[in-house]
Amino acid sequence: MSGRTRIKRFRARRDSVPAARRHVGYVLSEWRLGGLIDDTALLASELSTNVINHAKGTGDYFELGLRRRNGTLILEVSDSYQWRMPELRNPTLDDLSGRGLVIVDAIAAKWGVRPRDPGKTVWVHLAIGQAKLT
């Protein structure tokens, strides 16, 4: 079942974060990738939260894409905020935020950011072969 894609648009508001997690669970269950649900839902949650916290006033929506290609699950979160690209930081124990991309970096096989018109897409790769297929 290589080559599947599912893209969904969410409103840029806080209640979309749990909706994005539920969407990930639904799609990955449908694709029989239950072993990747927890990690992918966590990554979707972190990236969706980043959109809501940092891309204010740039659009009412963000898109969450899931793609299955050649043994890799690709998660993409896109928004229309083009002035600042996300950067991996090294938060201290006293910092109240700044850990989202640290989590992404720890879980993902690889990840990155690419510009789009307008805005950007943060993408994450997870190896399907390492997941327990359900």
Q: Residue 134 pLDDT > 50, yes or no?
A: no
What's the whole-number mean pLDDT along residues 56-63? 76
Specify the number of domains making up the chain. Answer: 1
Residue 79 is encoded by which pair of tokens?
């928004």
Task: Report the CATH number that the domain containing residue 50 is assigned in CATH.
Answer: 3.30.565.10
What is this structure's pTM? 0.84
Question: Which pLDDT score, from 0 to 100, does residue 34 have?
Answer: 94
Q: Residue 1 pLDDT > 50, yes or no?
A: no
Q: Residue 28 pLDDT > 60, yes or no?
A: yes
Q: Residue 38 pLDDT > 90, yes or no?
A: yes
Higher pLDDT, 133 or 117: 117
SS3 track for the chain: CCCEEEEEEEECCCCHHHHHHHHHHHHHHHCCCHHHHHHHHHHHHHHHHHHHHHCCCCCCEEEEEEEEECCEEEEEEEECCCCCCCCCCCCCCCCCCCCHHHHHHHHCCEEEEEECCCCEEEEEEEEHHHCCCC
How much of the chain, in percent, has pLDDT values that exceed 90?
56
Question: Which pLDDT score, from 0 to 100, does residue 103 have?
Answer: 85
Question: Which pLDDT score, from 0 to 100, does residue 97 have?
Answer: 57
Question: Which pLDDT score, from 0 to 100, does residue 132 have?
Answer: 43
Q: Rounded to 5 degrees, what angle do the CA atoms 42, 45, 51 make?
A: 145
Higher pLDDT, 1 or 118: 118
Question: Which pLDDT score, from 0 to 100, does residue 124 have?
Answer: 97
What's the whole-number mean pLDDT along residues 36-48? 96
Question: Which pLDDT score, from 0 to 100, does residue 82 have?
Answer: 67
Q: Which domain holds residue 60?
A: 4-130
